[in-house]
Amino acid sequence: ETERRLAGVIRPKDLSEDKRGPLGELEASAVLALEAISQSEVARLEQSKSRGGEVVRPIDVPGPLGEFERKVLDIFEAERKRTREREENEGKLIRPKDA
Average pLDDT, the chain: 85
DSSP string computed for 4-45 = HHHHT-SSGGGS-TTT--HHHHHHHHHHHHHHHHHHHHHHHH
User: pLDDT tens, 31-63?
Assistant: 999 999 999 999 999 999 999 989 899 988 889
For the entire predicted model, the pTM comes to 0.64
Tell me what pLDDT residue 4 has: 65
Q: 77: pLDDT confidence band, cut at 50, 70 and 90?
A: very high
Contacts of 84 (CB under 8 A, 6+ apart): none
The answer to whether the beta carbons of residues 99 and 78 sit under 8 Å apart is yes
All structural domains of the chain with their residue ranges: 1-56, 57-99
User: pLDDT tens, 62-73?
Assistant: 899 999 999 999
